[in-house]
Amino acid sequence: MTSIPMGPQAALAAGVLGALSLGLMRKPPALALRALAVASVAGAMLLAVCSASDGYSSAIVLTDSKSIGWQYLIYLGALPLALWLDGEDDVLVALFLGATLGMSLLASASNLPMLFVALEFMSLPAYLLVARSRPGTRGLEAAIKYFFAGGVAGALFMLGLSLYYADTRSLAGSTDLTPLGQAGAGLMAAAALFKLGAFPLNWWLPDAYEAAAPEVSGFLSTAMKSAAVLFLMRLCELAPQAGFIAFLPAVGAVTALAGAVMALRQERLQRLFAFSSVSNAGLLILGVGAWAASGRSSEGVSALLFFLGAYAFMSNGTFAFIRYSGLETRAQLKGRGAAMPAAAAAFTILLFSLGGIPPTGGFMAKLLLLWRAVDADLYWPAAAGAVSALISLAYYLGMTRELWLEAPHGPEPKTGPGAPLVIACAVGVVLLGAAPWLMSSLSGALTR
């Protein structure tokens, strides 16, 4: 099949226009909107497959094996939300596809201005997605916090870009930086760390994840996180001599520990998994630091791709369980395993995977990432990452105990649709744990 340059982005853009066009009708057909969302993401995935064999390069975009690999991860993280959308809100569908389009553009950006355009393209719809997915003052407040955090990130990036350009007179990257250029590169990296939720820049993340609908939180924690990791990696490539790169392992280690410790005291499930997301973001930042320290090797990219692929199943599955079960707090988990055995068993597998318990995909993902850190002589950050994984077992295993071994607490919540998605995500992490070559082979092919 002939590849189409920027074909995946064109499919998503067509989906945005299609959703807005259907919205002009007095009552847009819900089934058509749902089908449009799924078809746009699936079409982008198919066109990305076609683009993998034939690269494309221009002054502002670059389609290479790495960008295609990241597009797969972004679409994998976005597909569950496309399946969840009920089609009752055409604006919600357009916002979702618009944010996915921005992330896809970021995966193909080849210079700094295009990175900024893609960053804003993915962020602006995401703010409204949080506010609109669960109407009410709490959702609006969280969206405003998210907006201001994104505004700070954008301002840091633009200020950094100005300093960087003043030093290098280049927008495509430079290896020779004076202190002025180093300061600019550091500010741009701070913008990427804001998007990832690195400690202490994560103040916006728990509120946004808790206030949004669970399926939207899953989208933010997977597709958006994949895009933010790629954003940070692109900066490392465009400014390979930047001083901030040496600090990434330490930032990742501190973030992983801080997220794990803060999750210990959380009782609301979405807020707990928000801090869990912060801890996993720390491991990813550590992985990026290890990749940069080892000469930006393809093995480092493969480890990051594997981790993000496994995390797409784990995080989407856990948030899908929250949506399906209707549970909001850990206390409500008590004794609910018997009432929903299939979904609860799948949720337990996902918790084991998030905790890094073998033989799940989460264990293999953390092992590969920490091994790359050790291989890059980052011993104490790798040890801190391992300790954060041990700390996380306290709440992952605690939720498992509450689900199966404690007496029910309070009235039984009403379940909704979505159990098949929870089970499918659990099957995914089991397959990745039992046969890690399934994704490692794909990662190797995409990073050669």
User: Side-chain half-sphere of 136: how many Cα atoms within 13 Å?
Assistant: 8
Q: Do 99 and 125 meet the contact criterion of CB atoms below 8 Å apart?
A: yes
User: pLDDT, tens digit, for every residue of 74-99?
Assistant: 888 888 888 888 777 788 888 889 89
pLDDT category of residue 443 using cuts at 50, 70 and 90:
low
Structure-model confidence comparison of residues 107 and 387, the more confident one: 387
User: pLDDT, tens digit, for every residue of 120-132?
Assistant: 888 888 888 888 8
What predicted TM-score, i.e. pTM, was given to this entire model? 0.89
Phi, psi dihedrals of residue 39, rounded to the nearest 5°: -65, -35
User: If DSSP codes are grouped into helix, strand and coil, which group holds residue 63?
Assistant: strand
The CA radius of gyration of the chain, in Å to the nearest whole number, is 21
Domain boundaries, the chain: 242-448
Query: For position 60, what pLDDT does the model report?
Result: 73
Query: For position 1, what pLDDT does the model report?
Result: 46
Angle subtended at Cα 324 by Cα 318 and Cα 329, rounded to the nearest 5 degrees: 65
Structure-model confidence comparison of residues 137 and 232, the more confident one: 232
